[in-house]
Chain A
Amino acid sequence: MKRVQLESFYGTVKISDLDQTSLMNLSDKMGLSLNIEELIRLRHYFLKMGRDPTETELQAMGQAWSEHCCYKSSKFYLKKYLGGLKTDYTVLAMEDDAGIVRIEGDTNYAVKMESHNHPSAIEPYGGAATGVGGILRDILCMGAQPIAVIDSLYLGDGKSVKKSGMLNTKFLVNMVVGGIRDYGNRVGIPTVAGHLFFGKEFEGVPLVNAGCIGIVKDKDIRRSRVGGNGEILILAGGKTGRDGIHGVNFASRTLVSDNAENRKAVQLGNPIIKEPLIHAILEANSAGLISGMKDLGGGGLSSAAGEMCLAGETGGEIHLEKVLLKESNMSPWEIWVSESQERMLLSTHEDDVEKISEIMERWDIDHSVIGKSVPGKRMKLFFKDKIVMDLPLEFLTSGPVYAKPYFKGKEEAKHWIQPPDPDDFNIDLEQFFTDYNNSSKFNVVRQYDFTVRGDTVIKPVVGMPNRETHSDGAVMRVSDDGYYGIGITSGCNISAMNEDPYIGTIATLSRSYTNLLSLGCNPHSVVDSLNFGNPDKMKIMSQFVESVKAIGDFCRKTKLPVVAGNVSFYNELEGNDIPPTPNILLTGLIKDYRKVMTPEFKGENNAILVAGSSSGNLAGSLYAAKKGLTGGSLDRVDLNELLNLKERLLRCNEESLLESAHDISAGGLAIAILEMSFGSGTGFKIDLSGYSDERFLNKMYSESGNRIIMEVREENVEKVLEIFGEMEISRIGFTVGERAEIWNDAQKLIDLEISNLRNIWEHGLDGLI
């Protein structure tokens, strides 16, 4: 056996003679979050090397093999079901920090969404803010100019008893929204789309998913790899501190109330550094000075430098004392794994270092040369001339892959959800609107700057002044030349996910799909942010596998690429897991954004048509959830119908036959048509007698099927019906006055003033935020 001179390594930790219990104790003490099999593999490896590991090496392994960094529980299934989902317009999918998709010619968009759940649970303001900061860097490191931020939040409803040691819901909601607002608004990138869901299941386990879209020309695309041997590595942006140490390890286990170890895992962002950093990086990149770059997120320098060198097929030598620090007395392992914000690692040719330095200095960005890429495939770290790590990159990144067992458990019998008719449908509807999930989200959305940079064509708030409603998604202008627009929508159908992870995921995707169709956009690419409970439980693993399978099936059928994603496990508190939450960010394109549609009614005496079929099923609907009815049997979503709907609706929009369009989603037809009214104050009169043979309640609140409500001028009705041909389409009424009148079987069951209803809707969240 080869003996290595121990003296040359700094800070070794003796593990060769430790038994299993002592190994586990060591892992706990050092905060590694590795399991016993992984620790034994580590010990075995170092025994073979003939030496004990250093503290830095152990910490680096803890980072690299964490769930967060190596996707050990999810990789197998992601590959199995989402592998090969590419199209000819996909430039980069599931490879680097963000996906890249071609729009036209040499113009592309970069897109990514990530969760920032664990930090947001314990420090919601900083957690949510750094979620935005992190996703901006993911887009920036591809060489793209960020143009839009997207945020999907799943929060407790504040109606259940607060769990001990966890933050109060009202505080948490305000802080999460405040973090996104303060970071996004200060960094100067608009927050344009997202989703907001309140449910008791998320009490103490909030989900904060942040997404970003950027625009990049072919020549500016940069990979997350060094350009070759002898390249210089520059660390630029914020200084390195003790904040955020063990963030990834912490995100790879279950939350425990009042755990002091959680504390160091939190970071606060600094958008004032990020704003000039974006300018400096883009300037250096377009001057061709950067050969590869990566942002420092989870795992810090350890993860970024290791992955860049491995992908560039080189080794690396890094001098940790050259890293600029916030605190002077940091140990080498702390520098190596710190997750301090606002940092980017750049790889450049020796001759260009000075030019990069000049640009960084002009933008007032701290930076330092920390090392270089070298031949061979080892990562060697020095700290004041002592070796603190020397490991082959392949071993470092060869994290275990588990095909974790899954089992659905015994399924309970499903039934047809049948709530009783209310005494008065009007009062019932008004009460339905008081629910957080049905009310307007203005109190949140209006805190965000959604127009900065001047590229927002469709804002999250649309309609007549002082009578706005929500749009189905945002549309962003791509460039000064031409009229290409990118449609963005993001969300998850939690009430359907609660009933069935497979059908729920398909329903989530089809809802995002119809959102984009309502805007007039052609769905183009999918990004998934998969939030689940504890993967060590077979039931949770089964939810995950079903959900990923559904994404694969949906995308194969609709020919959409999955270009980026992220998995967040261990969203669990005191044994209670969150509902499966695959948050989908769907991006679409429209060739001429002047043709984009909005949901508000445009005028009186226009026909109201509903395209698409519905079974009237209330399972998985918000109405059923509000009445406390679960265990319903969900309908399978008819994807052929969805594709037909797309083709016909987009053709109608192309021929400018539609005044407005809005998809029927959360809350069913009732909420959808009222949201159209709220945007202009125009009322409507509809008769649902001939719409289907279901009960009135089911016609009003069912969320099943792929349906879109359209407002059509009388003279265009025939043409629209002709385009829809044999596809199911019904004319249910017309726009008129300022009241909502809904008839069924010759009875006027709803008769309410739009302005009164809108008032309830608009102020639904007032008590919370």
Chain B
Amino acid sequence: MVRIRIEISYLEGVEDPEASTLHHNLGVLGYDTVEDTRIMKIYELSFSEDTHTAMGMAKSIAENLLINPVINKYDIIVIGEEE
């Protein structure tokens, strides 16, 4: 079994209202050395496949279902492999 993590974030330059509101409020609370804030989504999927096939499937899942390529990008990370 392979456990895979898909991280979805905004492309550079896309407005992220949630992150900018958080960043602003951190400043209000006195955490004014926080330079930048980004928020992203993480999906964890377990596959009964070999790592290579699972990576391919995760890529296909991300592109077809989880992201809008116009505003999002994604990273795929293998977080666990079991026999």
Contacts and interface: CB of A to CB of B under 8 A. Distances in A.
* Pairing of A with B: yes
Interface stretch (A139-147, A151-159, A266-274, A439-447): A266-274
Nearest to A130: B15
A354 to B, nearest CB: 23
Interface in B24-83: 24, 68-71
Given A123-B71, A263-B70, A271 B15 contact: no
B11 interface: yes
A242 B12 contact: yes
Interface in B1-34: 11-17, 20-21, 24
A327 interface: yes
Contact of A272 (B13, B21, B69): B21
B69 A243 contact: no
B20 A270 contact: yes
Contacts of A90: none
Given A270-B20, A272-B21, A340 B71 contact: no
A239 to B, nearest CB: 9
Nearest to A183: B17
B17, B69, B71 — most chain A CB neighbours (10 Å): B17
A122 interface: yes
Contact of B15 (A122, A241, A262, A263): A241
Nearest to B17: A270
B17 A340 contact: no
A268 B12 contact: no
Interface string A257-282: 00000111011111111000000000
A341 interface: yes
A341 B17 CA distance: 11
B70 A268 contact: no
Given A123-B68, A263-B70, A266-B70, A272 B15 contact: no
Label chain B's interface by main secondary structure. Answer: loop
Contacts of B14: 243, 266, 268
A272 B20 CA distance: 10
Contacts of A263: 11, 69-71
B70 A243 contact: no
Nearest to B20: A270
A241 B15 CA distance: 8
A126 interface: yes
Contacts of A273: 17
B12 A340 contact: no
Given A270-B20, A272-B21, A327 B13 contact: yes
Nearest to A266: B70
B70 A123 contact: yes
Contacts of B71: 123, 126, 263, 266, 268
Interface residues of A, number: 23
B12 A122 contact: no
Q: Name the residue among A262, A271, A326 with the largest chain B CB count within 10 angstroms.
A: A326
Nearest to A340: B15
A243 B68 contact: no
Nearest to B15: A268
A268 B70 CA distance: 11
Contacts of B17: 268-273
B51 to A, nearest CB: 29
A212 to B, nearest CB: 20
Contacts of A243: 13-15
Contacts of B70: 122-123, 262-263, 266
A242 B13 contact: yes
Contacts of A340: 15
A273 B71 CA distance: 20
B17 to A, nearest CB: 4
A388 B17 CA distance: 31
A571 B38 CA distance: 35
A262 B70 CA distance: 8
Interface string A20-61: 000000000000000000000000000000000000000000
A364 B28 CA distance: 11
Nearest to B16: A268
A626 to B, nearest CB: 33
Interface in A574-629: none
Nearest to A364: B24
Contacts of A262: 70
Contacts of A272: 17, 21
A368 B16 CA distance: 22
A476 B20 CA distance: 34
A126 B17 CA distance: 11
A272 B24 CA distance: 11
Given A122-B70, A123-B68, A272-B21, A267 B15 contact: yes
Contacts of A122: 70
Contacts of A327: 12-13
A262 B11 CA distance: 13
Nearest to B68: A123
A170 to B, nearest CB: 13
A727 B11 CA distance: 63
5 contacts: A123-B70, A126-B71, A238-B15, A241-B13, A263-B11
Interface of B: 11-17, 20-21, 24, 68-71
Q: Across chains A and B, which 8 residue pairs bring their CB atoms closest together, nearest first?
A: A242-B13, A270-B17, A268-B15, A123-B70, A122-B70, A263-B70, A266-B70, A241-B13
Given A268-B71, A270-B17, A273-B17, 5 more contacts: A122-B70, A123-B71, A269-B15, A269-B17, A272-B17
